[in-house]
Amino acid sequence: MRIAWFAWLARHFGEYGYGDGPSRAAIGTGAVLVTAALLWFALHRNRPAAVAAAGLTCALGIGWLAFH
Of 9-13, 37-41, 51-55, 58-62, where does mean pLDDT reach its minimum?
Answer: 9-13
Instruction: Give the pLDDT confidence score for residue 48 in this predicted structure.
Output: 93
User: For 22-31, what is each residue's pLDDT tens digit?
Assistant: 888 888 889 9
Q: Are 57 and 36 in contact (CB under 8 A)?
A: yes
Q: Which long-range contacts (CB under 8 A, 24 or more apart) does 9-18 make?
A: 9/35, 14/68, 16/65, 17/64, 17/65, 17/66, 17/68, 18/65, 18/66, 18/68
Does the predicted TM-score (pTM) go above 0.85?
no
**How many residues appear in the chain?**
68
Residue pair 24/31 in contact (Cβ under 8 Å)? The answer is no
